[in-house]
Amino acid sequence: MAVKTSLTFTTFRNVVDGQLVDTQEHRHGINPASKLPSYDVPLATQKDLDTAVDAARTSFGEWSQTSAAERKQLVLKYADAIENERSGFVTLLTMEQGKPLHMAEYEFGLAVRWIREMAEIDVPEEVIEDSADRITSVRYTPICVMAAIVPWNYPILLATGKIAPALLTGNTIIIKPSPFTPYCGLKLAELAIGIFYPGVVQCLSGDDHLGPWITSHPGIDKISFAGSTATGKLRVTLELGGNDPAIIFPDVDIAKTVPEIAFYAFLNSGQTCLCVKRIYVHESIYGKFREALVQHVKTLKTGDGTLEGVSHGPLQNAMQYERVKGFFAEVKAQELKIAIGGEIEPSDGYFITPTIIDNPPEESRIVEEEPFGPIVPILSWKTEDEVVGRANNTKMGFGASVWSSNTAETTRIARRLEAGTVRVNNHFDLSPKTPFGGVKESGIGVEWGSQGMRAYCNIQSIVVKKD
């Protein structure tokens, strides 16, 4: 099949059964930097979903029987096709999500890398018993029709991170991008038309009705969901929210550590499940660390992501903007101490400057909940047992980090933290080969890595009796 390498990034259609399909009604996203409407996109109906599911189930038979080697080659060809459209995707991503162009470049690069590296992960048949009586093997077979519900904070990376494992394991997939950021997802599926069989990769843009239609559809076999709430589907992989702690020990190099903590706290304007949400600093360096952090945050620039020198864009949508404003209101009402920031100035977009709250009570909302915005508490601690207990005192458990020059000690402490991933002297070291998921209320199952690939499969045991 020929690779389609030229997209138009101003017109948008659903992708159903290998065709670009329009709908009778339309909607549009909002550019969060200007609050102005963006391009029209389709508004899918329940009938459109039924058509897509039928196409996915029809194409599954042929696609699932394609060899793993051939599927891998087509997925790699798909990665090449996406990379050929780098400029268009990066500009579109900044328009719809708001992140600065350099961060859109970063997300785009990760997305292409994720596809290519996941294509190198094998899920081989395994012999688990070879005794005098029997030989038993376990094989991993495709489930059938996947649905990917993609959030608005990383609309390219989190889409490709679901598309690649679904296709590599022999499944078909229907992508539902967020109503807030529908554009890149539609173009990712449009690119797939020239590479895969019709019905293998499809995409539907819709409103708030589409998600419930998908999660309750009897023809969809598994949901992969990233967001903030459970979907209600029985067979799911859920990547939900986090309230990640970063624990800073007194032996850190403050000048080196502060810029990294600031980066991970305010990455994507705080709209990342893995952002640092609570900064715990040992009392012996608390004052110096806080002051250094404040001085660094002063160098950050919030604004329209298309402008030179901007480090942080707006909140992505009005709903999230209002939620984060609620945290600011509570900080003022409780008269909490503000180290920097704290004011939301009127603007043409959903802009909020990075804000640090100085040593608030542990039971305050800013400590207990995830704002998903550019506001973070810095807190003092005295003993290891105390800070580990405080770090674990949350219903969430996505990520955590421990910072110290003593790697052996920090690794030991990392094992005490209740999180899906704990990093030492880093907070965002991601790899498509590392399982990605949370514990507690931060998720069910994992994505990525060989474990994540197996989540897109049925497990079949073959037991052969020996004579």
- Residues 439, 444, 448, 453, Cα dihedral to 10°: 140
Tokens of 315: 């909140």
Selected catalytic residue, list 85, 96, 190, 239: 239
Q: What share of the chain is helix, strand, coil (3-state, %, to 5)?
A: 35, 25, 40
Selected catalytic residue, list 203, 273, 275, 457: 273
Give backbone dihedrals phi and psi of 459, rounded to 5 degrees, phi first. -105, 125
Q: Per residue, what are the HEC states of 153-185?
A: CCCCHHHHHHHHHHHHCCCEEEEECCCCCCHHH
Inter-residue contact 197 to 91 (CB < 8 Å): no
In 3D, which of 420, 408, 390, 393 has the Cα closest to residue 282? 390
356: Cα separation from own chain's centroid: 24
In 3D, which of 341, 334, 168 has the Cα closest to residue 270? 341
User: Is 239 noted as a catalytic residue in this protein?
Assistant: yes
Inter-residue contact 33 to 349 (CB < 8 Å): yes
Spatial distance between the Cα atoms of 289 and 296, rounded to a whole number of angstroms: 11
Tokens of 43: 């508004």
Give backbone dihedrals phi and psi of 456, rounded to 5 degrees, phi first. -95, 15
Give the residue numbers marked as catalytic: 239, 273
